[in-house]
Each structure stands twice: as structure tokens, then as C-alpha cells.
Amino acid sequence: MPIAHETVLELDLNALAHNFKYLKSKVREDVKVMAVVKASAYGGDVVAMAKKLSDLGADYLAVAYISEGIALREAGIELPVMVLHPQSTNYESLVEHCLEPSLYSEFVLKEFVATADKLKQKDFPVHVKFNTGMNRLGFSEEEVTKVSSILNKTTAVKAASIFSHLSASEDWKERDFTLQQIHTFERIAIKLFDQLDYQPLLHICNTSGIINYPEAAFDMVRTGIGLYGFGNDKTEDQKLKPVGTLKTIISQIHHIKPGDSVGYNRAFTAEKPTKTATLPIGYADGIKREYGNGKIGVYINGQYAPIIGNICMDMIMTDVTGIDCKEGDEVILFGGPQHATDFAAAGNTISYELITGISSRVKRILIGS
């Protein structure tokens, strides 16, 4: 990896390829893969990663909002793109850019059918979401006939897929609940297939579903966090390669005396002669105040340096006593010697929040082919 000379988030496309191939190997060869690239590909570079995933053989991409899908289209990406949470005010734009909506209630389904009719569409692909226990979005099992009736009465749209979302597939203590979700989804699919004259694709597995319930892969699986190197399990984490490495440099080194304090609110006071390093990264970059005051540290020249004092908006101070380092040296926050899952846990959060929260002002650097 290149040596950092400023604050950067390195994104390893070879790691992305490894993760894609590993996850795909967990399911049958004929199962399609929907790669989730919402939130800038989980805090990365959405265009570069979407292009790489397309080259790797992804069948679909998924984003949260219409604006994210438009950005992919404007970058020349032609793969089918499902929009997980479209807003009806943007339906016309969605159709214009050939994006495919997730429709999860009678209101949004009817609104989209009306828009597709108005725009004289024929069999425009939509994805119908059913709620099997997450209780977030989705039609209920009791609404299957209502859904099929609406679909059968229009030629403007056609269900490309029927899907649901597992809420605890990473937790073996919730295995019975997960199996219940899968069985509910199977019942829904059977009822719907009986009432339609075609069979949409079926998908329910997320990353942890792929790993723990590959028998429920159906026609397609969706993977997000796994693509970026996190398997929601320490054993699986070892088989995946984190894509992102967050690096910065030492801005300045101080030698402080016993009794000297560091940073806002004098949150750290030296008890002995201490060598500190100030780093040009802070909570405005996504490293929140929760990580301050010794809860976690960084790596400098292969050695661990705890964060001291309160994290500032643009700066972090670390204790580098005993570490051979100088101003300008590279610093690794997560990636490399420190897994992002461990870093996140120190701030009482999860890898998802940490990696998607890295600010856009942090420069992204692509490495790998």
C-alpha cells in the first residue's frame, strides 16, 4: 500500500473482488447477486466500486435513494439498479433513468403504477417487498391477493422480483425467528405465484443470510457489508478482506511536562513526561468524540498509540511516548493492523456506522486493479 501524506481513505479494489467471489461461492452457481452500493458504497467510492462489481459479474446493484441511482447512470453504469426507498415525488425521474423501485405498500404501488401509466410504460420492472418480521417496510402476508390484483390489472409494470429482509440472520440465538421469516416468505411466494401468470425472482438473504442460510438463496441474494469486508462474525471476518483503510499523518509532536494538559476541557493531564502527536483528523471526518480519552488508539510505525483527551472537530491527539516517530509519519486508524469492527466497538457502535460515517472531505484513494 502507498504511504499516506495526508488524511485519506484507501479503497482496495482487489479486496472488493475477493469478497465478491467469496460470497458468491457460498450459494449455487445459478443464483444472481445484487450488490448493495448505497451510502457511497458504504462510505467508499460508489462509481469505482459499482464499475468493479459490474466487471466481476454482479447482476444487480441496489441503492437507497433515487439520487444515488441517477449518479450511477450519469457515470455510465448500465446494470439494473434497484432503489430500496424511492419517494413518489421522484418517480418520473426514476423512470427516466431506468431505475427499478422497491414498492412496499398499497399507496406506493398504486402511485407508481399511475406514474408508469402516465408515462406510457410497458412492463416496467418493479420489486415488491413483503414484511416477514422486520416490521420496517413491506406488504403483509395478508395483502398478497391485493398485490396480485393490482399487478394483474396493469400492463405498465411487472414484478421483476419479490423480496423480504432478514432482521437477525447474523445471530444464531435468533435462528428460529430467521427460519420463521424464511418460511413466511416461501408461503408468500407460493400464494403470489398462484395468482400471477409469471414468476418473479425471489430474494431474502443479506450478507449474513448468505453465510448462515445459503439454502434460502432462492433466485438472488443481496450483499452489502460483506462486499466491504465485514461478515458480522469474527470467523467470517477472517475470510473477508476489509476494503477501506483510514490513514492520516502526524502534524506536530509535543513534549509535555507532568501537570500539562492536552486539548479541550483539559481532558488529559500528563502524570509524567509525555510525547504527544497531533493528527489532522477529527469528528468532522467521522471519528466521533466517543473514541477519545483512551478508548481506542491508532498505529504509528507498527506501534499502538492511544488517543488522549477529547477529539476535536479537525484534530486528534495521541500518546506516542516510546514510539520512534516524527512529523509527517503515516498513521493508521483502521484497516491494516486494526480491524474497523474493533475500532467501532470502542465507540460503542458497529462497523456499518463507522465506515459509512467517514466524511466526504476525506480524500478517497483507489488501489488494486
- Helices then strands, counting H and E runs in the chain, come out as 12, 19
Catalytic residue among 21, 146, 234, 264: 264
Cα diameter, the chain: 79
Q: Is the distance from CB of 19 to CB of 297 less than 8 angstroms?
A: no
Question: Beta-carbon neighbour count of residue 304 at 10 Å?
Answer: 14
Q: Is the distance from CB of 233 to CB of 211 less than 8 angstroms?
A: yes
Distances (CA, A) of 243 to 133, 285, 355: 31, 18, 10
H-helix segments, the chain: 13-25, 38-43, 46-56, 66-74, 91-96, 106-118, 144-152, 175-195, 207-212, 234-237, 340-346, 351-356
Q: Is the distance from CB of 202 to CB of 165 less than 8 angstroms?
A: no
Q: Is the distance from CB of 135 to CB of 102 less than 8 angstroms?
A: no
> Residue 289 is placed in which grid cell?
468524540
Instruction: Annotate 201-244 with DSSP letters as a single string.
Output: EEE---HHHHHH-GGG-TTEEEESGGGGT--SSHHHHTTS---E
Q: Which residue matches cell numbers 482496495?
A: 12
- Radius of gyration of the CA atoms of the chain, in A: 24
- Give the C-alpha separation, 184 to 297, whole Å: 45
Task: For residue 139, give the DSSP letter.
Answer: B
Catalytic residue among 38, 52, 129, 247: 38
> Residue 166 is placed in which grid cell?
432478514
SS3 360: coil
Q: Is 264 a known active-site residue?
A: yes
Catalytic residue numbers read 38, 264
